[in-house]
Structure formats: C-alpha cells, structure tokens
Amino acid sequence: MSVASQDTAVKTGSIAKVFIYLILVLFALFYLLPLYVMLTNSLKPLSEITGGDMMSLPKAWTIEAWLSAWSTAQVGVSPTGLRPYFINSILMVVPAVAISTVLGALNGYILTKWRFRGDTLLFGLMLFACFIPFQIVLIPMARILGILGIAGSTQGLVLVHVVYGIGFSTLYFRNYYASFPTELVRAAMIDGAGFFRIFWRIMLPVSGPIAVVTIIWQFTNIWNDFLFGASFAGLSAMPMTVALNNLVNSSTGVREYNVHFAGAIMAALPTLLVYIVAGRFFVRGLMAGSVKG
C-alpha cells in the first residue's frame, strides 16, 4: 500500500478538523473495544466478572485464568488446557506455510518468465480456487484423507492447507514477478544459467518482500482457519481455533469467562504478534488478495 506518499490536495477548516479527529478516535475505540474487553476480563477473577462491569479494570489482578486456559481448563472432554492444541497448530502451520510458499514462488516464476500457451487460463483456474466456498470440497476431502490414511492427522491438515493455499501464494508471486524485468531472465539464459539456476541466483535474491507478504498471509489464514480444522482434525490434531471453540462452548460446569478470554487471546497472540511486527506486509497481502498486483 502506498503510505501517505502523496498528500491530498484537499484542504479542510479547523472546526471540521476537530470533528474529523473525533470521529476517527471514536472508530478507533470501537475497533479496540473487544480486545480491551478480552484483555481486562481475562485478568479478573471469575467472581468479579459475573454481575460486574465489563468495562472496568480488574480490582484484583490475577493471571489465574491464563494459567488455567494454558494447562488445566476443560477442552472437550479432557482437562488439558489449550497447550497441546497450540502445539498442534504450530506443527500444522509451519510446514503448510513453507510448502505453499515455495510452490507459489516456483509457480509465479513459471507463469511469468516461462510463459506458454494457456498459462493465463491456468492461472485463472488457480486464482478461482482461492475464492471457492470450501463447503464444496468438504465431502470429497474427508473421503480422500480417509483413503490416504491421514484423516484426523496433522499431515492431513497440512495437505489441505497447502492445496488451498497454492492459489494465493501463486497469485502473490506471479504479480510480483510480473513486474520483474524479463530481460534479466533472458540475460541469464544467454549467460548460460538454466531454469533452477535463474530462480536461485536471480529471482530468489530479490523476492524478500513478497516472500514476507506471502508467509504472513498464509500464516494468518492457516492459523485462523476453523472450517478445515473442525471438519478434518479429529481429536488428536485439533488446532487452536477449534479447541478454543470447544473450550468456550463446553456446556459442563460454570462458564469461566475469564478463562475463555485468556484462551482467546492465546489463540490470537501469534497472528496479533505478526501483525504488530510486520503489519505493513500483512496489509500488502490483503490488498494483493483483491487480485490487482
């Protein structure tokens, strides 16, 4: 995204300016509200929450709820806390992101620098795959995972996320490489470099920014996925989002809202962290997701 590189030529009066700031700040509060509610209430004891004021800061600060959410809370049937599921998510996300990014880079390189008849159509097919409602693949996917013997496993989820992540990672790399001069590839060909050598020596060294965008995008999407996790994970490979949902919706016993909030923030933490550290790239990924590169 172009960040304030161009000033607008529009001028506004000072009273109008005050109103503008007021509105902008109000919206900022609106966006921050849920995070604030989660954070403050995760640090209260349960007694302070039920019947208490959701907006107030804790009177008695405690990290009890966090500890419980991490290691002892009831998720589904077992009192394991969210820790095993957090690990599940990591085990799923890392390979899925790595594989889909590498494939996307190679695909983007081929689709821009080794063009062939029908490549645009092919890319169109990949691109459309990004936007399908995944309900259309749930039934056959469940069967295929069963046939491959990886139903309910982390490998199964990795496969699913790689397959449905290729479209986006290809899109990113393709659009990025499209503006990379083809003459460079030709020069390298004349210099005697082959397909992989050109990729390795010429393309990859300049792919840093788009690789970051792609990795962040894939990471966020796969970490946040719920539908595939809920459909294919089973108990042992259940990712964080599904576990959180189970924690929050478990009907047994007292509803420990503070634990729910602590768990929710845990589930949000990795993506939130990525957003805070590299928000610029996240936004760029979002924008590229609207197809225009």
Partner 1 sequence: MPIRTTRADLRTRLQDFIPKIVLAPSLAAILIFVYGFIVFTGYLSMTDSKMLPSFDFVGLDNYVRLFSLPAWNTALINLVIFAALYIAICTVIGLGLAILLDQKIRGEGVLRPIYLYPMALSFIVTGTAWKWFLDPGLGLENTMHLWGWTDFQFNWIKDRHMAIYTLVIAAVWQTSGFVMAMFLAGLRGIDNEILKAAQIDGASNFALYRRIVIPLLRPAFLSAFVILFHMAIKSYDLVIALTGGGPGRATELPATFMYSYTFTRNSMGIGAASAVIMLMTVAAIMIPYLYSELGAKKE
Partner 2 sequence: MGFLDISHVSKAYGSVQVLHEVDISVEEGEFIVLVGPSGCGKSTLMNMIAGLEPITTGDISIRGRLMNGVHPSKRNIAMVFQSYALYPNMTVAQNMTFGLEMHGVPKAERDRLLADVARLLQIDHLLERKPGHLSGGQRQRVAMGRALVRNPDVFLFDEPLSNLDAKLRVDMRTEIKKLHQKLGTTIVYVTHDQIEALTLSTRIAVMNKGYIQQLGTPKEIYDTPANLFVATFMGSPAMNILPATIKVRDGVAFAEIADAQGRLQSLQFSQKNLASWDGKEILLGIRPEAITDIDGADRKSQNIQRFSNVVTVIEPAGSDTFVTMTVSGRDVVARMRADASVAARDRFEFAVNMDKAVVFDPKTEARIPG
Interacting residues toward partner 2 by CB under 8 A: 181, 183-184, 186-193, 197, 201-202, 205-206
CB of 199 to partner 2, least distance (A): 13
Residue 123 tokens read as: 């890319």
d(CA 198, CA 194): 6
Closest CA to 229 of 138, 100, 109, 122: 138
Residues with Cβ within 8 Å of 270's Cβ and at least 6 positions away in sequence, in order, are 89, 219, 223
Whole-angstrom Cα Rg for the chain: 23
8 A C-beta contact, residue 69 and residue 263: yes
Nearer to partner 1 among residue 77 and residue 273 (C-beta): 273
Decide if residue 138 touches partner 1 (CB under 8 A): yes
How many other C-beta atoms can be found within 10 angstroms of the C-beta atom of residue 232? 22
CB of 207 to partner 2, least distance (A): 10
CB of 105 to partner 2, least distance (A): 15
d(CA 204, CA 197): 10
CB of 198 to partner 2, least distance (A): 10
Decide if residue 188 touches partner 1 (CB under 8 A): no
Residue 216 tokens read as: 């962040």
Nearer to partner 2 among residue 133 and residue 181 (C-beta): 181
User: What's the distance, Cα to Cα, between the start and end of the chain in Å?
Assistant: 11
Decide if residue 126 touches partner 1 (CB under 8 A): yes
Of 63-71, 148-156, 179-187, 278-286, which segment contacts partner 1 by CB under 8 A? 278-286
152 interacts with, out of partner 2, partner 1, none, CB within 5 to 8 A per kind: none
Residue with tokens 């936007």: 131
One of 143, 148, 186, 204 touching partner 1 (CB under 8 A): 143
Task: Find the binding residues for partner 1 in span 54-83 (CB under 8 A).
Answer: 54-55
Helix/strand/coil for 40: helix
CB of 183 to partner 1, least distance (A): 16
CB of 185 to partner 2, least distance (A): 8
One of 127, 152, 155, 234 touching partner 1 (CB under 8 A): 127
Nearer to partner 2 among residue 28 and residue 206 (C-beta): 206
d(CA 239, CA 85): 5
One of 80, 152, 248, 250 touching partner 1 (CB under 8 A): 248
One of 77, 87, 94, 132 touching partner 1 (CB under 8 A): 132
Closest CA to 228 of 126, 138, 153, 166: 138
